Structure 1
């Protein structure tokens, strides 16, 4: 692996943890597009450098140290791929906001039915929500595959594909269960990535 490739992977690791916060091995591997058992070469040097902190226990994963937060911000500011994609990232952000509003309403329909918490006993209701999620996904996922976008942004399309496939296989928690690499988890990461990559500060306008 070349020095430049090593730097690029270091940036991607730090950026992923910056976007996600506490990042499990499964999520970090998914973000990077590598096998979970292949993470060590990418995380080890950053742990040794004091940029990452490893947490164990029920919610095991990696977080950024204060030095890691500084490094992640500095590397994003100087990342050539992100800089070159600035116009495409702005266009994607503008396209994302109205769809984000639609997605939030879908999540509300999944979680609440007739003003009460959805107990998921109405299969027709849940299937209608899933059908609308497919429609939203089919319309927006291709936008994430734009060739002028950074590779890390394009990977969100594959990750959302994977979450949708899990839903279709019967894993309903893959829709909106927190800390489950669910569709909702990945969508939130995408939203944060677009805000951070565009140098924005989250406000009411960002909610779509």
Structure 2
């Protein structure tokens, strides 16, 4: 049976997977009540687990080192409480790694493509065949991760939604919105994938770069 995460963990973990985000973004990440999330964030700030920073008129919450350690502790406790979850997470991470390599290459190919003389140049997206192949590869990667996500959701409910977000971003990219392919932020295929990667590594207790 899939385990529903404690709301306090979801708030702290949302800050981690987002990297930085305001109250609205943190609440939206797991569909939580905005007012309750605001109060929880203030409590987390009081305990030194998150910090608020502003730059050029925008601001967001991010984890402190203490907050990252606490998130890891809570994730480990949650994982240990679900008998099948540790094995599922290990299997999913092993299956994710080759897909991750393919996605990184596809994102590179979306931004750069070969030109005369074997050089690489910024992709101006005037070669529909090249872009089409890249989008097809992304589609294959998204299709490939779907069964892995289904296995995760079966044990940890907080992984629900990644598949729909990836499908939505890819459909928008296919429809001509290039920003939904490799743009910054959680609305692009690359942005959703980065959140998923961080979520997987954090859940498995693997430091980034150590997978």
Q: For the superposition of Structure 1 and Structure 2, which TM-score range results when normalised by the shorter chain?
A: 0.7 to 0.9
Of 15, 34, 54, the residue aligned with 1:39 is: 34
Stretches of structure 1 that go unaligned for 5 or more consecutive residues are none
| 1:18-66: CA deviation from partner (whole Å, max 9, x where unpaired) | 23321255653453145xxx42312322213424333445543221245
1:94 pairs with 2:94? yes
Matched residues in 1 for 2:142 and 2:123: separation?
22
Contact 1:174–1:181 under 8 Å retained in 2: yes
Q: TM-score, normalised by structure 1?
A: 0.80
3-state DSSP class of the match of 1:79? Answer: helix
Of 134, 137, 140, the residue aligned with 1:135 is: 140
3-state DSSP class of the match of 2:129? Answer: helix
| 1:89-142: CA deviation from partner (whole Å, max 9, x where unpaired) | 011001101111111111111011111111122222212211221122122223
Q: TM-score, normalised by structure 2?
A: 0.79
Contact 1:82–1:197 under 8 Å retained in 2: no
Give the deviation of 1:198 after TM superposition.
Answer: 1.0
**Aligned match of 1:118:** 123
Return 124-133 or 47-56, whichever deviates more.
47-56
Q: What count of residue pairs does the alignment treat as equivalent?
A: 197
**Aligned match of 1:174:** 180
**Aligned match of 1:156:** 162
Higher relative contact order (CA 8 A, sep 6+): 2
Return 93-102 or 143-152, whichever deviates more.
143-152
Contact 2:26–2:37 under 8 Å retained in 1: no
Contact 1:31–1:155 under 8 Å retained in 2: no
Matched residues in 1 for 2:173 and 2:23: separation?
21
1:183 pairs with 2:189? yes
**Aligned match of 1:23:** 21
Contact 2:72–2:205 under 8 Å retained in 1: no
* Aligned Cα root-mean-square deviation (Å): 2.6
